[in-house]
Amino acid sequence: MKIGNIKIDIPVFLAPMAGYTDYPFRVLCKRSGAGIVYSEFVSADGIIRENVRTLEMIHFTDEERPIGIQIFGNDPEVMSKATDYINKNFKPDIIDINYGCPVPKVTKRGGGSAALKDLCLMDDITCAVIEAANNTPVTIKMRAGWDRDSIIIPEAGIRLEEFGVKAITLHPRTTKQKYTGKANWELIKTLKQSINIPVIGNGDVTNIADIQKMFEYTGCDGVMIARAAQGNPWIFDQAKSLFDKNHKPKITSLISIASMCKEHFELLVNDKGNSTGMNLMRKHFSNYLKGFPKASIFRQKLVTADSYKNMVLELKAFENYALSSGL
């Protein structure tokens, strides 16, 4: 698979997820085999104002390449300026436009999937970003439409390809559905049959069997993993076996879970400092520690640890349990 001039060996990607796809989590997923990782979605307004927190969200290292920076906004000029700033100061491999976020605080301001209600605005934003991106490939992550009465697939895909978009990721739910109901994979198939650029499927993919089913059913070029990667970066290592029959996925043992927790915690602390790293790690402990004896006990102790020192001690206790359990 290629996006522009970027060759991707394993077309299984880490989706942009607010509050999750920061530098430490992206690195872990990349090390596990993700073909492309994406930043959290960031505000174009925040970028051009050089908001410190916004810029921290899109800082990345060469280890993460190829990496996509995802931006959102409702003003073509602001999106153009943000794209130019990102290109000059960060030099990502891909710039991705968010036309998929269904969260009201974003859509009420005309960002995210609100553009699905106004294809002329989508056209203007897309063209502005492509022009400012110079030779950096521009991709799109979008939903199927605002509601079930306004599905814009494949019309929007055809328009986006004509403008010069290099790939489209489709989450085949509507904005009104948010994350309820079932993702309509038929729309991914329809989009793939309607355009010539790569189509990446997203939605209702929870395991390796789902990844294989999506490829087979829709004919898509790549699959994007979101919530299924939370607490499970190994899903990308497992996905390698779909493309390399000689690859033997690592067994997700209790020891490997403990090791991943420790590595993730250390990356967060090194990146954010003890206090912030500790607080950010709580949600990750909740995702990692499931499905084994005493999981709830260790999860509760780690999530509620009241200091960095105590969190380190509780993590060490979990490591010792993992080593002695034989699981």
Residues 218 and 283 in one domain: no
Active site residue 261: no
Of 192, 214, 242, which marks where a domain is finished? 242
Write the CATH number for 305: 1.20.120
> What's the pLDDT at 100?
83
- Specify if 283 maps to a domain: yes
218/152 same-domain check = yes
In a shared domain, residues 215 and 269: no
Q: Give the pLDDT of residue 84.
A: 97
Q: Which of 214, 242, 270 is the last residue of a domain?
A: 242
Do 20 and 64 fall within a single domain?
Answer: yes
Q: Are 315 and 261 in contact (CB under 8 A)?
A: yes
Domain that holds residue 299: 254-325
In a domain, 293, yes or no: yes
CATH number, domain with residue 12? 3.20.20.70
Residue with tokens 């490591």: 319
The reported pLDDT for the residue numbered 325 is 84
- Going by C-alpha positions, the residue among 187, 181, 177 that lies closest to residue 220 is 187
> Tens digits of per-residue pLDDT, 78-127?
999 999 999 999 999 999 999 988 887 888 878 888 888 889 999 999 99
Please tell me whether residues 65 and 153 are part of one structural domain.
Answer: yes
Where a domain ends, among 186, 212, 242?
242
Q: Where are the alpha helices (DSSP H) in 39-197?
A: 44-48, 52-57, 76-89, 104-107, 119-133, 155-163, 185-194
- List of the chain residues with pLDDT < 50: none
**Interatomic CA distance for residues 314 and 299, integer angstroms:** 10
pLDDT digits (tens, 9 = 90+) for 214-231: 999 999 999 999 999 999
pLDDT in tens, 256-274: 999 999 999 999 999 999 9
Q: Give domain status of residue 248, yes or no.
A: no
| Number of domains, the chain | 2
Sign of CA dihedral 281, 250, 1, 183: negative
Residue 96 is assigned to a structural domain of this protein: yes
Provide the angle, in degrees to the nearest 10, between the axes of the packed helices 254-272 and 23-32: 140
Q: Out of 101, 120, 220, 261, which one is annotated catalytic? A: 101
pLDDT of residue 106: 84
Instruction: Verify that 27 and 112 share a domain, yes or no.
Output: yes
